[in-house]
Structure 1
Amino acid sequence: MDYDLLVLGGGAAGLAAAQAGVDAGASVLLVSEGELGGDCTFTGCVPSKTLIEAAAAGASFAEAMSRVRATVARIAATEDESVLRRRGINVMRGRARIVSRDTIDVDGRRVRGRRIVIATGATPVVPPLDGLAATPYLTTETVFDLTEPPESLAILGGGAVGCELAQAFARIGVAVSIVEAMDRLLPGVEPEASALLAEIFDAEGVAVHAAARAHTVQARDGQVVLHIDSGKVVSAQRLLVAVGRSPCTGGLGLDAVGVKTDERGFVVVDRHMRTTADQISAAGDVTGLFPHTHAAYGMGRVAVRAALRRRRPPSFDATAIPQVVFTAPEIASVGVVESDVADDRARVAFLPLSEVDRAITADRTTGFVKLLAGPRPLLRNLGGGRVLGATIMADRAGELVHEPALAMRTRMFTGRLAQTVHAYPTWSLAIQQATAQFFGAYGGRTARPAHPRDEI
């Protein structure tokens, strides 16, 4: 064999897999067709969060895009070929195709390896919208290439990406509209968060068209015109398509080696990240499991450790992995939302930020903390039971969510969060205040039963 481990893809999952292989003493070859660092570094997390921060600070479009380019370059330099080689990771640039379960072809060159990890990521979905192919449009892969701000921007998709970029562009001075097919923004989060964000967008001038499915698009008189099922028409100078991601599996030769994909094309894996083909694993967005950079990193490490370890291989569990929508305020969540709680003994603690002193001192009281707790096996609700999920909408929600995430990961009693002394006045004190509701009235509030699914 040429290598112990062949990693296909240089994004978060691929980089994590390659490093895990080196850490285990394996010889590693990382094959990447695109830039090392992948979407997160060049078209995802890094540029979008830089744009968000620049817009919040009042930067002009030119200043914001300059910051984006500088930040991308700075972070990309920490994961380029020279850095990886110093870490013991061999790099080959090119397009890989799996020839057999231990051999790949990279632009005509055959390379053999004992194990293969597929980490080729995903790409923006282009919906089968009538007229879209003939209409200029942007995706997350091209929006940061803009050199001039559009006068107006229509965003197709009201998920995390659509909402984040909508607010950022609006704060730079662009007239923004969002068209979302579902009945609310961010359909996967708690309804309270969706409703509050819609109010914020309305106050900031972002037009939201929910329960509005676009069926036709056309370019007309320098404008992009979206025709919606309700009969409405939304027009803007530019169109950004942000309706999801599809796996990058084309040309990999998966069928020939027995790697199964699901109905959407994502690679099917078990909890150890193993595919249906011996010696081949997969990690990251190409699996469709949890499309976030930090999860991809975790999957990459699990995939390699499980592939190299015969006894007690590690497994990937997304239950306690948080996710954040970086709007202002941020919306962070971990675990289940209330509508997904099946146990009728579960309870909900809800605390509006208007009752949190730190939020009052900062004059940023829009938001809330919502915690869900349920009985533990055998012990039931002793000690408050266990944390099932949390949704936090606050300026620092992305930081606050890690406390309930840790509680879930360690299976601690919910009461430990209430017992832990928090500094005053801090944002995280809201976690302690909310958790106290599971043990009686606190500030006039007490935990209530979770509503059954059909009542929400």
Structure 2
Amino acid sequence: MFDLSCDVAVIGAGTAGLGAARRALREGAKVLLIDDKFAGTMCANVGCMPSKLLIAASKAADHARRGALFGVRVSDVSIDGKAVMQRVRDERDRFAASTRKSFEDFPEGTLIKARARFTAPGELALDDGRTIKAKAIVVATGGTPKIPEAFSGLGDLCFTHETIFELPDLPKSMAVIGAGPIGLELAQAFARLGVKVSLFDDSETLGGVDDPHLQAMIQDTLSEDMMLCLGVTSRAHRNNDQIVVTYEGKGHSASESVDILLVATGRPPQFDGLDLEKAGIACDDKGTPLYDQQTMQCGTAPIFLAGDAAADRPILHEASAEGSIAGRNAATFPKVTPTQRMIPFSMVFSQPVLARIGEEPSNDHIIARASYGDQGRAKVDGEAIGEVQIVADPSDGRLLGAILFCPGAEHMAHLFVAAISAGLTASQMLSHPFYHPTLEEGLKPALREICSRVPSSGDYDRTSAPGG
């Protein structure tokens, strides 16, 4: 006999788990949502929101320093590190409290505060001694930062994104290991707040951008704020109250002493203690369950994966979508309905923002560029930097993808998501108004270039608005 039974058991109450539980409930299923903390989402606690709060502070500092460009002279710009970090925590805690409050919306008896592990397919044991029988199970246990052996043993001077926001004050210097989105964002934010930052990565490129011209632009821009050490292997040891980072690559080696180290080398799925080997599903060589991206189902089993646990698209809107797909299919199992996934869309909140949408550029595409180095509105705002690349189908000019590294990228990227989703061509996009003077207006040269290279593109706007 089992202590509890349900139609759908969801393990993990983060963004994906919440999405799965809510969708399963809407489908009429009896749901148990299992979590050992119910602390709120990763995004609110240690991810999106605290990092953006730190970035907001760094932007304020940068704007103050650049005031003279506009004839606004700000003397003696100083950074109150304690106040910066306190605001990050205060506002973060408000966001986290809001997500925790959402748990109150679940029906009584739905929330189970415990850790779960598989004992057999469709069967779970809780660390409080109870057992659960479920018709289907959604695994949404998220990811967790891992500290590689080369950076172990550093004690309280070593941080991850889950601990860095607890700093009571800004350090004088820091090393950041890993130039993925988390590493890039936090490295630049701390640097613009007056911290001496060195960023290390074994890759020679940033942001997953292969185009040499755009990659050089990204590196040149970010190197104005911090030291970039790319294409290197690194390790660290503690020397009293300092950390010494030793790195080598391209035929040379060097070392640097810093106050703290931030390890941002990724967030592998969190499966510790889950006993997945008893779930009756196949896993890859890293221990991640094999699953169908359109159904989130693991093989033919009544087990579904969602969110960072899926180790595929570690982005909040994707985690929410995956949760919904998994929750619906778990509730209707054995009926499983494939769902068309959203257009790939990611952003790194560097300054300027790096956004990538849709298909990556290739020799099979038209690739058109628009520079923001001399764009009218960007110059007005004192932010004339960067470039946009638009990817289009050479047969008809249909928009397929875009890479933006320019002011306003986080907003203009959404225009491309909508345009690509709607199947618009460059000519059709140009038929819509571009208000003058705006950053969006700067897209027109690239769109016109696409039209000029597609004979069948039809009539399009060939005029150039002033400052566009």
Which runs of 5 or more structure 2 residues have no equivalent in the other structure?
62-78, 454-461
CA distance in 2: counterparts of 1:166 and 1:371, whole angstroms: 28
CA distance in 2: counterparts of 1:393 and 1:122, whole angstroms: 28
TM-score, scaled to structure 1: 0.88
Which of 386, 394, 406 in structure 1 is aligned with 2:406? 394
CA shift in 2, pair 1:427/1:311, >3 Å: farther
Question: Does the CA-based 8 Å contact 1:370-1:392 persist in structure 2?
Answer: yes
Cα displacement string for residues 34-85 of structure 1 (whole angstroms, at most 9, x for unaligned residues)? 44433211111111011100221136322222222222222222221x5323
Instruction: Compute the displacement of 1:253 (Å).
Output: 1.6
Q: State the match for 1:203 in structure 2.
A: 224
Question: Does the CA-based 8 Å contact 1:55-1:64 persist in structure 2?
Answer: no
Q: State the match for 2:46 in structure 1.
A: 43
CA shift in 2, pair 1:144/1:191, >3 Å: farther
Q: Structure 1: which amino acid aligns with 2:323?
A: G
Q: State the match for 2:458 in structure 1.
A: none
Q: State the match for 1:314 in structure 2.
A: 338
CA shift in 2, pair 1:193/1:244, >3 Å: farther
Equivalent position SS for 1:165 = helix
Q: Structure 2: which amino acid aligns with 1:179?
A: F
CA shift in 2, pair 1:430/1:106, >3 Å: farther
Q: Map 1:193-272; keep pairs closer than 5 Å.
A: 193-204=214-225, 206-214=226-234, 216-229=235-248, 230-270=252-292, 271-272=294-295
Question: Does the CA-based 8 Å contact 1:246-1:265 persist in structure 2?
Answer: no
Q: State the match for 1:167 in structure 2.
A: 188
CA distance in 1: counterparts of 2:245 and 2:125, whole angstroms: 43
Q: Structure 2: which amino acid aligns with 1:273?
A: M
Residue identity (%) = 29
Equivalent position SS for 2:190 = helix
Q: Map 1:44-443; keep pairs closer than 5 Å.
A: 44-58=47-61, 60-80=80-100, 82-88=101-107, 90-107=110-127, 108-129=129-150, 132-134=152-154, 136-188=157-209, 190-204=211-225, 206-214=226-234, 216-229=235-248, 230-270=252-292, 271-276=294-299, 278-309=301-332, 313-315=337-339, 317=341, 320-338=343-361, 341=362, 343=364, 346-375=365-394, 381-382=395-396, 384=397, 386-440=398-452
Instruction: Compute the displacement of 1:402 (Å).
Output: 1.4
CA distance in 1: counterparts of 2:376 and 2:106, whole angstroms: 47
Cα displacement string for residues 3-47 of structure 1 (whole angstroms, at most 9, x for unaligned residues)? 222111111111111121222222222111244433211111111
CA shift in 2, pair 1:121/1:323, >3 Å: same
CA distance in 1: counterparts of 2:327 and 2:115, whole angstroms: 21
Question: Does the CA-based 8 Å contact 1:282-1:303 persist in structure 2?
Answer: yes
Instruction: Compute the displacement of 1:87 (Å).
Output: 4.1
CA distance in 1: counterparts of 2:228 and 2:244, whole angstroms: 16
Cα displacement string for residues 93-147 of structure 1 (whole angstroms, at most 9, x for unaligned residues)? 2211122332222212112222210000111132231x63355411111111111
Question: Does the CA-based 8 Å contact 2:426-2:448 persist in structure 1?
Answer: no
CA shift in 2, pair 1:190/1:7, >3 Å: farther
CA distance in 2: counterparts of 1:182 and 1:329, whole angstroms: 21
Q: Structure 1: which amino acid aligns with 2:19?
A: A
CA distance in 2: counterparts of 1:173 and 1:367, whole angstroms: 24
Instruction: Compute the displacement of 1:155 (Å).
Output: 0.6
Question: Does the CA-based 8 Å contact 1:417-1:432 persist in structure 2?
Answer: no
Instruction: Compute the displacement of 1:348 (Å).
Output: 0.8
Cα displacement string for residues 320-364 of structure 1 (whole angstroms, at most 9, x for unaligned residues)? 1311100111111112332xx252xx1111001134322122121
CA distance in 2: counterparts of 1:304 and 1:431, whole angstroms: 39
CA distance in 1: counterparts of 2:20 and 2:176, whole angstroms: 34
CA distance in 2: counterparts of 1:342 and 1:254, whole angstroms: 42
Equivalent position SS for 1:19 = helix
Question: Does the CA-based 8 Å contact 2:178-2:263 persist in structure 1?
Answer: yes
Instruction: Compute the displacement of 1:292 (Å).
Output: 1.2
CA distance in 2: counterparts of 1:61 and 1:316, whole angstroms: 46
Question: Does the CA-based 8 Å contact 2:160-2:263 persist in structure 1?
Answer: yes
TM-score, scaled to structure 2: 0.85
Question: Does the CA-based 8 Å contact 2:85-2:170 persist in structure 1?
Answer: no
CA distance in 2: counterparts of 1:195 and 1:60, whole angstroms: 33
Pairs aligned (count) = 428
Question: Does the CA-based 8 Å contact 2:122-2:279 persist in structure 1?
Answer: no
Q: Structure 1: which amino acid aligns with 2:196?
A: A
CA shift in 2, pair 1:30/1:312, >3 Å: closer
Q: Structure 2: which amino acid aligns with 1:267?
A: P
CA distance in 1: counterparts of 2:336 and 2:34, whole angstroms: 29
Instruction: Compute the displacement of 1:431 (Å).
Output: 3.3
Q: Structure 2: which amino acid aligns with 1:95?
A: R
CA distance in 1: counterparts of 2:384 and 2:213, whole angstroms: 15
CA distance in 2: counterparts of 1:124 and 1:191, whole angstroms: 30
CA shift in 2, pair 1:170/1:4, >3 Å: same
Q: Structure 2: which amino acid aligns with 1:13?
A: A
